[in-house]
Structure 1
Amino acid sequence: MTEQTKPIELHYWPTPNGWKVSIMLEELGVPYELKLVNIGAGDQFKPDFLAIAPNNRMPAIVDPEGPGGEPISVFESGAILQYLGRKFARFYPSDERARVAVEEWLFWQVGGLGPMAGQAHHFRQYAPEKIAYGIDRYTNEVNRLYGVMNKRLSGRDFLAGEYSIADMASIGWIVPHANQGQSLEDFPDLKAWFERMKARPAVERGLAVGKEEREKLNLAADKNAQSVLFGQKAR
């Protein structure tokens, strides 16, 4: 296994996309340095971040010990998982048949589960106007995708058979299932997978990365909002 002597920079905020990489780094047990990207404050648009993530989306990493021993930056969560899996030869098999299975379910998440669940979140939780068409469309599509995942996990412990980056990519989008209008009771094999995933210590640690910082900022935002509401100057 490749040894990592210098910490990998993880540019991150605790969201389902960010959790993919924090879980992977915790599973690998390699040193990393957390660089919080407060997406609520617009940190993702700062020039320093755009230099490594031109799509102004976190997560991104900077590996000071990249190919040839030179630093490399990687953006897009799926690409980061593949890079780390190749570098450390873990959770991303070298056997072509096994690798294809992992990539199928990784890209299923990147192209389907994540975007559709994100739209369900938007229309159900954050849209300034409740649009029934949008709510129904994306809630139903997430329900369909949960069904696909549930069927895949029938008789399997993990999406590609062995635990892999495909599972790490998907777990964060199942965590807020209630906000997507879904009940895991309707998907017993998916629910069993979800419990297996949560029981992994590295998954638990990965999901907790940055949680305290986000909660502090949320409390500050709530305090400011209440001060404005009651005509008081925020302090």
Structure 2
Amino acid sequence: MFYWVLKHLLVGPALRVAFRPEVEGLENVPAEGAAILASNHLSFSDSIFLPLVLDRRVTFLAKSDYFTGRGLKGRATAKFFEAARQLPVDRSGGRASEAALRTGLKVLRSGELLGIYPEGTRSPDGRLYRGKTGVARMALEGRVPVIPVAMIDTEKAQPPGQVIPKVMRVGVRIGRPLDFSRYEGMEGDRFVLRSITDEVMYELMQLSGQEYVDVYAASAKEALKRAGGSGGGTSAVDRPAA
């Protein structure tokens, strides 16, 4: 109930007026039933603008750090994520990765929309990076379609490190659902998982117009840090990987 109030009566109307999000492809999101929304990841605000433009609720798997922050900012962030029905997951790998997968499958088996960032973390430079295969495993095990979503200009509205977004128009482009039922029962085949993930990333590249880099975003951030640059922050699920 509070999620509905937050979206439709409190925060949502103000965001729609201020940012005037331009949306394409709303007809590609089913009115009911489970599906994965696989999005590129440019900004912290991606998890705000995507649910904002949809009639249905979207559940994202958010890194657990967002729920444990200290101070006024940390508590405010935790309350926002809780109110928005985001689920905390441990991204440390191993058993935690499997737990994140199971959490996502639970959402899908409830017939809901699950938001995933296949890159695993925000792009450090606006380019599209290699996807992690967790999206493919969830699609096959959950027997659900994957709907590619491209966020447009959200990194300009809220670059990494900027707390208050700049008021400007942003965009959301939603592609046609991708059906991977032909691979049913092959979720244990890493080559199949990579093939599915690469297909999803290709669709995201086409929708977003981003340059594609066949390197994990997390690795690119580490390289930037070693070079003395800024790698930005991290968000959402980056496991399980290939």
Q: TM-score, normalised by structure 1?
A: 0.29
Higher strand fraction (1 or 2) = 2
Q: TM-score, normalised by structure 2?
A: 0.28
Pair member with larger Rg:
1
Higher helix fraction (1 or 2) = 1
